[in-house]
Structure 1
Amino acid sequence: MCGIFGFSLVRDLNASDIDIGLQQLNSLSHRGPDGQGHASFDEQGVFIGHCRLAIIDTSKRASQPMSRDRFTIAHNGEIYNFVELREILEKKGVKFTTDSDTEVLINAWRNNGVDCLKELDGMFSFALFDGEVTNLVTDPFGEKPLYLLQHDEGVYYASEPAALIKLFGLKFEPTEFDLAAFLTLGFIPAPETGFKNLQQVEPGSHIVITDGKITRTTRYWTPVEPVVPGGRPKPVSESQIDIINEALIESLKVRLRSDVPMSIFLSSGVDSTLIAAIAAKEFSTDIPAITVGFAETSVHDESASASAIAKYLGLNHEVIHGDRTGGADALDLLLSLYGCANDNVTAIPSFDMASAVRNSATVALSGMGGDELFYGYNKYQFFYEHNSILSSPRSLRAVARWFSKVSHRMTAADSLRRSRQWTYANYKNVGIWDLLESVSSLDKWGDEFFSGYEQSQYVAARHFDLTHVLPGSYIPAIERSSMRVALEVRTPFLNRNLLSAVDQLDPRSVVGFGQKSVARRILNRYVPDHLIPAVKRGFIYPLDQIIESQMISPQIPGIGNDLIIDSMDRRQQGKGRELFVRMLVLDRLMAAN
């Protein structure tokens, strides 16, 4: 887990270029406090810089950038299955001089080129120069960020957007589509960022840069939507549960590899408890657990339940109270962490938690991704239960919406707006569509953006979460907050083999027999059912302090004053709270121009 900054120019490097590279690399030092290094290839116009957070083989011999023959790499992240890959390479005669996963990665590329990406289990973004071209690669789920900018002088890239925004003096100038996307979703889907020419590299991407220009961009992996078979759904069998359990155990096994201390982020929910339980029961680990509590706020405090779970598993447990960063300070922190438009305030308690953990650990395990894997969100249940009407033609949806409004079922009424492709966005913004309808280009953006979602709504929504929301909102909330204090967070649920095992099941069998029934059945093998809450509550930061700290209407070019005033009036009501936070984020970003 580290930070990288580099560029490939259309001309030779000079001393000023290298100075710029080192300055911007230093701005990422919070991601890698254990050392910095760079490699420059003057005639090829290539600079590669790296800030190191030492996790696997902490010795100086594993420092980066690392070179083997004509190949040089700067790697941010972890290759979890590096031990198994190393054994394969050694049988082919490859010699190693370190115990690091980065040396395994560079040798895998030397031997198999881009095909090695098929075998990697990890979270990573890396830049690899082979003497002729620079390869930029991101991991399948988008766990490790990478931003790039095509400039007249060449292509620049960095682990965080702030380095590129500062270097080029970029202004936040979102298009109408960017504004429509952010106000609807709470983030701007990759590759767009709202900053001109600045792109976020999409998950599972391979980009080739030749002589300072992007010459090829491909997606080497994207999740496949599972197919809903015919006939009646059946409960998942015990043998099928065994397969998924084993895949999860294998995923966690390789994510426990570390040469530095570890911790576990523990709530009282199914996902983090399952990770903690398998770590304790299958591997007899004594990794301490930590929980954020929200005393005297509107958010449910899970610390007591989490303590009971930790006690049962025999884990040392610490509770920190998430009241350290609030009000205007919380909004400032949010903008500082992301650097781009993102309304996910989970980053704030995550930062508090990471700061506490970092005193005793460098790596933490998280349950992130479990809801996407096991169809755990409430919306999946809603979409499944109402799938027939949600999947109906627009004319029938209009009739059903009228009946829903008459019977005061507003969630159903708002979910039936427009065509079926809009269902996800409709559900996310229940109660505020009368405000969003005035957003310029909203219909044009949404009709284009959601056009490919033709599957059953619970399957389409889960696919949208995996491909857009997870890498665009949820992962950045954890990644940016933890890496601000140089804490590496690992997510055992984000594993291609595990996802494939779940997707072999009939989706109706996963979602239709109780919320997160598959995960709960696995968890019941380790933890008594009475310790696990029956209702999903989620990990939510209290918005009250942020909202109450803003008494002046935001000023946002491109958004009508009536919408801003109305959002101000509704800032304490339901989804109006989230919309108002989005307004505040836009206001701050534009004020910085």
Structure 2
Amino acid sequence: MCGIAGIFHHGTPKPVDPARIERMCDALVHRGPDGAGVWTAPGVGLGHRRLSIIDLAGSPQPMPSADGRAMLVFNGEIYNFRALRRELEELGARFRTDGDSEVILAAWQRWGPDCLQRLDGMFAFAIYDLQKRQIFLARDRLGVKPLYIADLSDGSIAFASEMKGLLALPQLRREVDPLAVEDFLAWGFVPETRSILKNVRKLMPGHFLLAGHDMPLPAPRQWWDVSFAARAQANAEDLEAELLHLMREAVTSRMVADVPLGAFLSGGVDSSSVVALMAEASAAPVATCSIGFDVAALDESAHARQVAQLFATEHHARTVSPDEWSMVDRLAGIYDEPFADASALPTLAVSSLAREHVKVALSGDGADEAFAGYRRHKFHAAEERARSVLPSGLRQPLFGTLGAIYPKADWLPRPLRAKATLLSLAEDGASAYAQAVGVTSPEMRARLYSDAFKRARGDYRAEEQVERLMREAPAQTGLDAAQYADLKFFLPGDILTKVDRASMAVSLEAREPLLDHRLVEFAATLPGRMRLRGGEGKWLVKKAMRRFLPDDILYRPKQGFVTPIAQWLRGPLAGQARAISCGSWLSRTNWFDPAALERLAEQHIAGRADNSRVLWQMLMLEKGIARLDAQ
């Protein structure tokens, strides 16, 4: 796990100053405190910060190929590198190191871009081919590892693992993209389709970019996708056996490291399953780390202790006070772009705890997206059944009218919020799902925006991206389409961004075995009843894990990391909430209606409404944009 950076001139190959690459890498030192390197040639420069995990003494980067014709910088891990190395050796390749980096180089030289199909892992890397005078940028299938690309004022492009690396360049223009602000308010994060700055973009998950000096910069190409279009024909017992085999393979392949390794353990189904399979594969006790809260309603630590005792792990736990609001400013610095998933705070806390004991930690992320584990999947599947009964010509006027006159009751659990359900049923499945998973509704955003910002945004709606993904998804059912959107949009933009930045901020490598691409591809072929049955998500996963875990772990209500932001915004952060409407950096942008922001803050602080989610978004937008402007 590392940080990478580079500059490439398409067109005239101008010299690249090594000091520019060094500045970019210095901004990424937290991703790789164990070593650094820079390499330049006419028209190109590559830089690397290393976090040593495998082949500790060898594999320095930037790394040349054995014949000196290609140069690599790489962030991530290739879990099948030993098998791939043996295959390449049989084809005549020779290796000088014992790590996975040199295997990528040899695979590129043998197969070109097709080498990506053979790589099992999480990665973002750049290869410069000195013979062909081309640069090859690639990102893993699901977007576990990030890669930002910027257009610089001198006509070159720069790339880096985080926007910090790009912000180190004075040539970077820092004009905020209003469409990214619209996206952020809708979702709480800036998705992979754009960045907060107009001239910076992200290489999309499962995509690569191949460019030469003597050609215009081409568009990235997709090299992987997941399909829900086919269905496995085996019986439940055979599917359960295959699932368990794939989960075991995914976990054990991610236990390869030359440094101490452990796991995050929340006590939920996913992290507990990973720990169970680690314990089965390990002769020594597994190191586990969990965070608890000193507010009973937020605390899951008892469940984590139960699993730790069950598998005799070397358990490390820490109780976090809800007064951890003081970390909010640090959070803005870690994420660069505005990021409003409040569970980033406990994720940072558990990463910090883990780093005191291990250098690599396995997590349970990804199972909810792949196996329909979110409550929203249950609601969406039920609504899709209702939509299938009534044609849209009847459904839209009927449910739309009922929803319009039904009283609003956001404080109730969703099954009792008939207004939201009725209005959702009036929409098609894609539109309804996009609005259900959003943080701030289109109506709320319209009330907050100033007229000037509405003109800058134009007719763009953030929901369009999710609606398009679902309508064009390789899927058979509405549930399939929703999960496809989760895997392609919400997973990389929110969950994986959260874990990558929080873990790398403390120089910890996080690995996600439940996002092994073979496991995800298998999950997409499961019949719907094997994913969601009787209102129970991850049905087949829970069935397979009953031999390891008790029912009170497998079937207890899903909780997840919770942060008491509503209390913070009425207490220690109340002043900052009030300042958003006047006196803050954000208030000077003229993007928002100050009176609307003031009403939100005062209603929340007085306890007349819970506006914590949108106020938290505005606070993180304020801190994120102000930080970009200051650098």
TM-score of the superposed pair, with normalisation by structure 1: 0.92
Tell me the CA shift for residue 434 of structure 1.
4.7
**Cα offset for 1:253?**
1.5
Paired residues of 1:384 and 1:512 also in contact (CA < 8 A): no
1:445 CA displacement: 1.9
How many Å separate the matches in 2 of 1:343 and 1:296? Answer: 22
Q: Is contact 1:432–1:575 with CA below 8 Å preserved after alignment?
A: no
Partner of 2:149: 148
Cα-to-partner distance string for 1:309-359 (whole Å, 9 max, x where unaligned): 1101111111112338722x3321221111012211222111111111112
Q: Secondary structure at the match of 1:136?
A: strand
Q: Residues 351 and 508 of structure 2 are in contact (CA less than 8 Å); yes or no, is this contact kept in structure 1?
A: yes
Alpha-carbon distance in structure 2 between the residues aligned to 1:87 and 1:147? 33
Match for residue 367 of structure 1?
A: 364
The equivalent of 1:303 in structure 2 is: 301
* Separation of aligned partners in 1, 2:464 and 2:332: 29
CA shift at 1:422, angstroms? 1.8
In 1, distance between residues paired with 2:283 and 2:609?
Answer: 44
1:214 match: secondary structure: coil
Summarize the Cα distance change of 1:561–1:19 in structure 2 as closer, same or farther, 3 Å threshold. same
Q: List gaps (5 residues or longer) in structure 1.
A: none
- 1:304: how far off? 0.9
Residues 252 and 281 in structure 2, CA contact (< 8 A), matched pair in contact too? no
Which residue does the alignment assign to 2:430?
A: 421
Residue 63 (structure 1) aligned with residue 80 (structure 2): no
Percentage identity across aligned positions?
Answer: 29
Is the alpha carbon distance of 1:136 and 1:431 closer, same or farther for their aligned partners in structure 2, counting shifts above 3 Å? closer
Aligned equivalents of 1:409 and 1:236: distance in 2? 38
Letter in 1 for 2:158: Y
Q: 1:103 to 1:570 in 2, by over 3 A?
A: farther
1:129-178 deviations in whole A, cap 9, x for unaligned?
A: 01111111110010111101122331101111022124237576444432
Residue 143 of structure 1 aligns to a residue in which SS? coil
- Cα distance per residue 1:55-104 (max 9 Å; x no partner): 11101x31111101201100000001111111111221222121101111
Quote how far apart the aligned CAs of 1:431 are: 8.8
Q: C-alpha deviations, 1:386-412, integer Å up to 9, x for none? A: 213356627613422443563852441
Q: Are 1:162 and 1:339, in contact at CA under 8 Å, matched by a contact in 2?
A: yes
Change (3 A) 1:236 1:384: farther
1:587 and 2:622 are equivalent in the alignment: yes
Q: Where does structure 2 lack aligned partners over 5 or more consecutive residues?
A: 408-416, 581-586
* CA–CA separation in structure 1 for the residues paired with 2:599 and 2:201: 32
- Within-5 A mapping of 1:155-194: 155-168=157-170, 173-194=175-196
Cα distance 1:14–1:227, how it changes in 2: closer, same or farther (>3 A)? closer
- The question of 1:221 aligning with 2:224 is answered yes
Structure 1 residue identity aligned to 2:496? I
Shift in CA distance, 248/113, structure 1 to aligned 2, threshold 3 Å: same
SS in 2 for 1:38: strand
Whole-angstrom distance in 2 between the partners of 1:88 and 1:589 = 47
Contact persistence 2:35–2:51 (CA under 8 A): yes
**Pair 1:417–1:589, CA change in 2 (3 A):** farther
Secondary structure of 2:590's counterpart equals: coil
What amino acid does structure 2 have at the position aligned with 1:27?
A
Match of 2:485 among 461, 464, 480: 464
Distance of aligned partners of 1:168 and 1:395 in 2 relative to their CA distance in 1, 3 Å threshold: farther
CA gap of 1:428–1:452, structure 2 versus 1, over 3 A, is: closer
Task: Give per-residue Cα distances to partners, 1:431-490, cap 9 Å, x unaligned.
Answer: 966523435459642464223423643222211110011111111111001101110000
With over 3 angstroms needed to count, the CA separation of the structure-2 counterparts of 1:318 and 1:496, relative to structure 1, is: same
Q: Distance in 2 between matches of 1:390 and 1:442?
A: 32
Task: Give me the whole-angstrom Cα distance separating, in 2, the residues matched to 1:236 and 1:3.
Answer: 45
| CA drift at 1:376 | 0.1
Say whether the 8 Å CA contact 1:424–1:461 is kept in structure 2: yes
2:21 paired with 1:21: yes
Which of 505, 513, 520 is the matching residue for 2:526?
505
Residues 153 and 567 (structure 1), Cα distance of their counterparts in 2 relative to 1, 3 Å cut: same
Cα distance, 1:390–1:32 mapped onto 2, change above 3 Å:
farther
Measure, in 2, the Cα distance between the counterparts of 1:313 and 1:372: 26
Cα distance in 1, alignment partners of residues 427 and 590 from structure 2? 27
Q: 1:175 to 1:418 in 2, by over 3 A?
A: farther
Residue 271 (str. 1) matches residue 270 (str. 2): yes
Shift of the 539–589 alpha-carbon distance from structure 1 to 2, 3 Å rule, reads closer
Distance 1:423 1:573 in 2: 28
2:44 corresponds to which residue?
A: 46
Q: Is residue 528 of structure 1 aligned with residue 530 of structure 2?
A: no
Please give the secondary structure, in 1, of the residue aligned with 2:562: coil
Aligned to 2:324: 326
For 2:625, give the aligned amino acid: M
Distance (whole Å) between structure 2 residues aligned to residue 21 and residue 431 of structure 1: 39
* 8 Å contact from structure 2 (residues 231, 525) kept in 1: no
Q: Provide the secondary structure at the position in 2 that maps to 1:451.
A: helix
Is residue 445 of structure 1 aligned with residue 461 of structure 2? yes
Give the aligned length.
Answer: 583
Helix, strand or coil at the partner of 1:268: coil
- Compute the RMSD of aligned alpha carbons: 2.6
Q: 2:501 is aligned with what amino acid?
A: R
TM normalised by structure 2 equals 0.86
Q: Deviations over 1:12-71 (max 9, x none)?
A: 5557x2111112211111110110011111x3x111010000111101x31111101201
CA contact (8 A) 1:415 1:423 kept: yes
